[in-house]
Structure 1
Amino acid sequence: MAQIHPPCPDSLPLRRPVGQDGAGTDLAGAATVVRVTQPDLKRRRELERSRGRLVLASLGFGALFLAVGMKATWSTVVAPAEPVRLNAALRAMSPPVAQGVRRAPVTDRNGEILAISLPVTALVANPRVIHNPVEVAQRLHAVMPHLERDRLAERLSGDRGFVYITRSMTPREQQSVINLGIAGLDFEEAERRFYPQGRAAVHVLGNVDVDGNGISGVERTFDERLRSDPTTPLKLSIDVRVQLAMRDAVNQAIKDFNGIGGAGVVLDINTGEVISMVSLPDYDASNIGEAEPDQRFNRVTVGLYEPGSTFKLLTAAAALEYGTSNVNTSMFDASKPIRYGRFTITDYKGKNRWISFPEMLAYSSNLGAARMAEGFGPQRQREFLKNAGMLARQSVELPERATPIAPPANHWRDINMYTISFGHGISVTPLHVATGISAVANGGILRQPTLMALPPGAERPGTRVISEATSATMRRLMRLVVTDGSAKNAEVPGYFLGGKTGTAQKTGPNGGYLMNKRISAFVGAFPIQAPRYALYVMVDEPKPNAKSYGYATAGWVAAPAANTVISRIAPILGLVPEDPTNPAIVQATSIPLQPRAVARTAPGGSQAAAPAAARPMQPAAPRPATTPVDAGRVHPPVTPPGARSLPMPNLPAEPRAMPPQHPLRLTSIQREQSAGGTVAP
């Protein structure tokens, strides 16, 4: 008899005929019934349950993706200011303060910890009790290998009653020393200053000594405040994010051009808050003992350098404020060098022709700046620079501050006037330049820089150095230098940067100028139509490279670094780029290179020679009481004959010149300070 096997679970259902009252028929018309096996029913139930679970999971993931999409749309399109509110919440948070510490932490403006004191355990010894110092030193070295055995044995010898073995030890090291059971060793509760950000803002923070006393930076300036109120953090104006971006950009420029150092500053142009202060080379604040003198040197507040052509912005502002030059009509003779005694002033790649007021800045003409300074003379030049803060130490909250080097008042002569007009013969710090140009661009108010964070919307008092009309014109001129002048490489589309490059030779220790050793710098403000921040970038002794086509001037060195800085920090600071072609902004920040006709042409196609002095101009309107005045002579701008004044649309009214006095007489002088290649004997 054949053995009958059960059907396979995956086989088709069996069909067997039934009676006439069956539920179905087969193909031949016979009645049939479908019999489903138990495994098949079980499999169908499992499939139904899986289908339901898949539907639920799909609905859940769909809802999740919909929520993420809605949140992303809200944060980036509907309300993109949400991160600003988050930053405000972060600023309100206070860093933790360790129990028992005697020195308050230091934070940046957003609450990021820059310096903090933590409790530690120190290991001390009484050498009078230790009779075998060499053996004890060997056993301690086995526990703490970073200690030098010979030096440790020397410290454990002698007749002293107290010495420090180490100022800070870990709990594991402490337990290991306890296990040694050496008589004469003891533990002391202490604290140690830590700098979590490493090298960030190290020259601002400074350091403390082994006893926790401030010895430099804000640690020294606010030493009493940090000790008297250890539970309240000291909030600085520094933004560590901007600080890191500035450091990276300056450091890269130093590497690209093989410089020996550099500096960078970012100021809030309306309050004077220092958002970033970078000096390179730097060091890790936690390892001050390994820092070299050059690393500890703060180039921003202590380094004195000739500012070079960045000072031409101050010369132009002074000429406009005193009314001795007019941006629409004044022309300056840059067709030939200026000879003064044994000195000769020339232009670097000059135009060798008469140039307009805007061209003097755009093309960075030394001759044009010198001729412009003739208009107001040496006494009023010194008075203007004094009011702009260029002759005194900055009042920033750091003990490391340098006093500018400038000729004394009774020796500020015509040759000094010439060279200082284009940034030679005077030495100031980078912070001086950034602060002075902030006043030029912010409406004319000079505010001393500060490292203390101010509440949002707070206003700081200042001193007016130029009028709002002069400042508005200077902003247009600063923008022109970036769009059409020597600072084109600094342009960042959408942020409407305005500024000025400056290249100056370095002076040697015994006086005189050093060949092929220069300072390349850029100073500016952005966005120039409504300035929010001022920027200064400098590289010390850059060398030419192939990328710069053999140049090491500021336009090739500092301007690209400024571009990198602004590209990175502008979004951090909450600035949104504008349309570079926005007609309203372009018109509000533009000024033509040649606002008036060029000098008439002489027969034969050459330019006609211009007289040494211009025709007398109308008396000036009364100046504001805050405008610096001087009883010195006024030298009017030189205007080529036959030139015709063209209208300047949308420019603020310029002050008119005062009646001319006696023309300047160039006389021989005794040996004066040279101006590094631009003033040659």
Structure 2
Amino acid sequence: MPEESWRRTAGEPAKRVRRPAKKATTPHPPLPPRAVRNAGKPTSRPKPRKALPPRVAPPAKLGNPQRRLRFGLAIILLFFGVLGGRLVQLQVTHGSAWAAQAFEVRTVRQDIDAPRGSIVDRNGKPLAHSVPATAISADPTFVKDPDGTASKLAGLLGVPQSDLSTKLSRKKNDKGGTIRFVYLARSLDPEVGQAVNALELPGIYTLAEQRRDVPGHDLAANIIGFTGIDGDGLGGLEASFDDVLKGKDGRREFEVGARGQEIPDGYHKQVEARPGQDVQLTIDASLQFQTQKILAETLRDKDALMGAAIVMDVKTGEILSMASYPTYDAANPGASDSKDRVDIATSAVVEPGSVHKAITFAAGMEEGVINKNSVLTIGPTIEKGGETFRDTHWHDTTGMTVPGMLAQSSNVGTITIADKLGADRLYEYQQKFGLGDSCETGIATESPGIVQPPKNWSGPSHGGIPIGLGVAVTPLQMTGVYATLGNGGKKVTPSLVKGTVKDGELDKRSARGNAGDQVISKDNAKALLESMEAVVSDEGTAPTAAVPGYRVAGKTGTGQRVIDDKYAPGDVTSFIGVVPADEPRYAIGFFAHVPTGTSGSVAGPAFSDLASFTLRHYGVAPTGTDPPPFQVYA
């Protein structure tokens, strides 16, 4: 095959040259060594090959220097143009927005708690008031060393270091922004705030706030209620009068530096808080203390489940004391059970039992069915709707006087009067005396009770309702009935709040006792009270309720309490009385839900103790007359 080789001439590209193939030849014998082969030949050098001219690169094309200059200048102008445009954008177009954002970063905003109004007794003694306290807060964006800062604060604040470290670390809120405010501790003594300020920790602030102080702890706690950590009313009068007590918070804004500390001459704006108003109660703190003491001692001794005791002024309707059992420490409500915080006097509904008989007798007198001298023929039992009602004091069919029926709490006698009166009339007087309506004391959980119209009565209801069974009332409602009798038959509405205090002036809210209707005549009210004095006589059901030196008119009661739509074990025993009976000043009610025991043995002695203290406390002179004589049977 032809062979190929490459031949190149200087300055020309290499060319491929095809050579003819060599012809085949006969092989020669081996050649002798070069020395032998060249022997006898003249010595000569090979003729040198002609050198190729050197390769020369084509000359580079030179650019136009003016063009390069113009290009570089354009780049520089473009750079400064972009820079200038950005500056214009930042300073002119978006300058105000960026300035506002920078100001926002440097500005700290804090609420100024409005001083919460106090709750005071009728004499101005604080039952609940606010005292200065300190809260410690942080802006995590200024906290450079969360762990180190937490270490310095843990001991002062009484908060675990690990918890503080977590709070001081930067976090995002739900909108993706950085959280700039967290509470580290609250309701601290002001001295703690001073110690924290002395540390000068970046991003750590002290805030002045209020802490609710209840100096009496459990004194009137079920009435007063309690507040939350932010000072909002969460129970009792603290909740229902929250808008009056809380005032209006102020606002403080100030500028801070790089360390998160306020700049002395920086931006500062402050709107002062507007204090809340005080609420003055009708409660007498001294009488309240003694009422709670007597109630608690009596109920603990009887293993009672709950109870209430109330003292009312019969002329004004003002509640001078109102105790509940169990109770709690209003200064530390978190340590109590919710059932301990219920105000039993206004919120617990019970069957009144025989204390309700006063309404039946009052209606009978006012409607002319009976008078204080009436004698009715009463048997030992009476049947209503297939149910038999009995007198607890057994007797043959005989004539009984009105005082005698009250003294021995005759069920048959009371039902007989109700039969003569009629169901509609009895229901009318229940309403006139205030049953079924809230007393509107201001306690949010107050119950209106349940009084059924006659169309809803069953057959046995015609026997049970006149004697206080199948009726649901609060202890305060029933005590109010007796206050009306003590007020000459003119309706008094129980009141708990005397008024609100603004700028030192009392804005009266209560004192509405004499604005009510005349439920029964003054003469009938007096006659009924005289008849009920027989109850505390030796022939009556509650001689233990008598008060030495004073005339007492009252009535015992035994009912039941419905819990979760069924009757609870035990009985609700009660005694409600008016003292002094001849010159009425106070209506006093005592209720106790006990496993065992009668009204006379439980509520009677407690009433006597409470009435004795109340009369002495207000300096009421002993009665100068004896109760009228009476006979049970005629």
- Does TM, normalized by the shorter one, top 0.5? yes
Residue in structure 2 matching 1:509, options 550, 553, 564: 564
In structure 1, C-alpha distance between the alignment counterparts of 2:184 and 2:572, rounded to whole Å: 47
In structure 2, C-alpha distance between the alignment counterparts of 1:233 and 1:360, rounded to whole Å: 49
In the alignment, structure 1 residue 525 sits paired with structure 2 residue 582: no
Structure 2 counterparts to residues 78-97 of structure 1, below 5 A = none
In structure 1, the partner of 2:295 is 250
Say which SS state the counterpart of residue 574 (structure 1) adopts: coil
In structure 2, the partner of 1:201 is 220
Residue in structure 2 matching 1:292, options 322, 337, 347: 337
Contact 2:291 / 2:309 at 8 angstroms: preserved in 1?
A: yes
**Shift in Å at residue 231 of structure 1?**
7.7
In structure 1, C-alpha distance between the alignment counterparts of 2:208 and 2:184, rounded to whole Å: 13
Question: C-alpha root-mean-square deviation of aligned residues, in Å?
Answer: 2.5
**Shift in Å at residue 196 of structure 1?**
1.5
Structure 2 counterparts to residues 357-506 of structure 1, below 5 A = 357-453=402-498, 460-484=514-538, 485-506=540-561
Contact 1:441 / 1:474 at 8 angstroms: preserved in 2?
A: no
The alpha-carbon distance between structure 1 residues 125 and 351, as it changes in their structure 2 partners (threshold 3 A), is farther
In structure 2, C-alpha distance between the alignment counterparts of 1:163 and 1:130, rounded to whole Å: 12
In structure 2, the partner of 1:339 is 383
The alpha-carbon distance between structure 1 residues 398 and 509, as it changes in their structure 2 partners (threshold 3 A), is closer
The alpha-carbon distance between structure 1 residues 510 and 215, as it changes in their structure 2 partners (threshold 3 A), is closer
**Shift in Å at residue 224 of structure 1?**
3.2
Q: Deviations over 1:309-363 (max 9, x none)?
A: 100111111111111123323314232x223344222233433443332221111
The alpha-carbon distance between structure 1 residues 453 and 341, as it changes in their structure 2 partners (threshold 3 A), is closer
Say which SS state the counterpart of residue 535 (structure 2) adopts: helix
Say which SS state the counterpart of residue 338 (structure 1) adopts: strand
Say which SS state the counterpart of residue 574 (structure 2) adopts: strand
**Shift in Å at residue 148 of structure 1?**
4.6
In structure 2, the partner of 1:593 is 631
- AA matched with 2:395: K
Compare CA radii of gyration and give the structure with the larger one: 2
In structure 2, the partner of 1:143 is 156
Contact 1:334 / 1:365 at 8 angstroms: preserved in 2?
A: no
Residue in structure 1 matching 2:619, options 551, 571, 574: 574
In structure 2, C-alpha distance between the alignment counterparts of 1:555 and 1:135, rounded to whole Å: 69
Say which SS state the counterpart of residue 537 (structure 2) adopts: helix
Name stretches of at least 5 consecutive residues in structure 1 with no aligned partner.
1-98, 545-551, 599-681
**Shift in Å at residue 162 of structure 1?**
1.3
In structure 2, the partner of 1:236 is 281
In structure 2, the partner of 1:111 is 124
Q: Deviations over 1:582-608 (max 9, x none)?
A: 4xx21xx414124xx73xxxxxxxxxx
**Shift in Å at residue 265 of structure 1?**
0.8
- AA matched with 1:412: W
In structure 1, C-alpha distance between the alignment counterparts of 2:476 and 2:433, rounded to whole Å: 12
In structure 2, C-alpha distance between the alignment counterparts of 1:543 and 1:142, rounded to whole Å: 50
Say which SS state the counterpart of residue 267 (structure 1) adopts: strand
In structure 2, C-alpha distance between the alignment counterparts of 1:137 and 1:278, rounded to whole Å: 46
- AA matched with 2:584: P
The alpha-carbon distance between structure 1 residues 106 and 365, as it changes in their structure 2 partners (threshold 3 A), is same
Contact 2:154 / 2:161 at 8 angstroms: preserved in 1?
A: yes
- AA matched with 1:203: N
**Shift in Å at residue 397 of structure 1?**
2.6
**Shift in Å at residue 130 of structure 1?**
4.2
In structure 2, C-alpha distance between the alignment counterparts of 1:398 and 1:304, rounded to whole Å: 15
In structure 1, the partner of 2:237 is 218
The alpha-carbon distance between structure 1 residues 341 and 232, as it changes in their structure 2 partners (threshold 3 A), is closer
Say which SS state the counterpart of residue 189 (structure 1) adopts: strand
- AA matched with 1:401: E
In structure 2, C-alpha distance between the alignment counterparts of 1:135 and 1:593, rounded to whole Å: 88
In structure 1, the partner of 2:608 is 563
Contact 2:575 / 2:599 at 8 angstroms: preserved in 1?
A: yes
In the alignment, structure 1 residue 302 sits paired with structure 2 residue 354: no
Q: Percent identity?
A: 31
The alpha-carbon distance between structure 1 residues 292 and 204, as it changes in their structure 2 partners (threshold 3 A), is same
In structure 2, C-alpha distance between the alignment counterparts of 1:366 and 1:137, rounded to whole Å: 73
In structure 1, C-alpha distance between the alignment counterparts of 2:196 and 2:189, rounded to whole Å: 11
Say which SS state the counterpart of residue 428 (structure 1) adopts: coil
Contact 2:372 / 2:531 at 8 angstroms: preserved in 1?
A: no
In structure 1, the partner of 2:97 is none
In the alignment, structure 1 residue 351 sits paired with structure 2 residue 389: no
- AA matched with 1:523: I
**Shift in Å at residue 234 of structure 1?**
2.8
In structure 2, C-alpha distance between the alignment counterparts of 1:306 and 1:152, rounded to whole Å: 54
In structure 1, C-alpha distance between the alignment counterparts of 2:609 and 2:165, rounded to whole Å: 54
The alpha-carbon distance between structure 1 residues 231 and 215, as it changes in their structure 2 partners (threshold 3 A), is closer
**Shift in Å at residue 170 of structure 1?**
2.0
Say which SS state the counterpart of residue 121 (structure 1) adopts: strand
Structure 2 counterparts to residues 576-655 of structure 1, below 5 A = 576-578=621-623, 582=624, 585-586=625-626, 589-594=627-632, 598=634
Bigger fraction of residues in strand: 2
Contact 1:378 / 1:416 at 8 angstroms: preserved in 2?
A: no
**Shift in Å at residue 291 of structure 1?**
2.2
Contact 2:404 / 2:630 at 8 angstroms: preserved in 1?
A: no
- AA matched with 1:140: L
**Shift in Å at residue 241 of structure 1?**
0.5
In structure 2, C-alpha distance between the alignment counterparts of 1:332 and 1:140, rounded to whole Å: 84
Question: Structure 1 length normalisation: TM-score?
Answer: 0.66
The alpha-carbon distance between structure 1 residues 212 and 100, as it changes in their structure 2 partners (threshold 3 A), is closer
The alpha-carbon distance between structure 1 residues 204 and 180, as it changes in their structure 2 partners (threshold 3 A), is same
Contact 2:113 / 2:208 at 8 angstroms: preserved in 1?
A: no
- AA matched with 1:475: L
In structure 1, C-alpha distance between the alignment counterparts of 2:511 and 2:181, rounded to whole Å: 54
In structure 1, the partner of 2:269 is none
Residue in structure 2 matching 1:126, options 139, 143, 158: 139
In structure 1, the partner of 2:324 is 279
In structure 2, C-alpha distance between the alignment counterparts of 1:557 and 1:163, rounded to whole Å: 54
Say which SS state the counterpart of residue 204 (structure 1) adopts: helix
In structure 1, C-alpha distance between the alignment counterparts of 2:226 and 2:319, rounded to whole Å: 19
- AA matched with 2:123: N
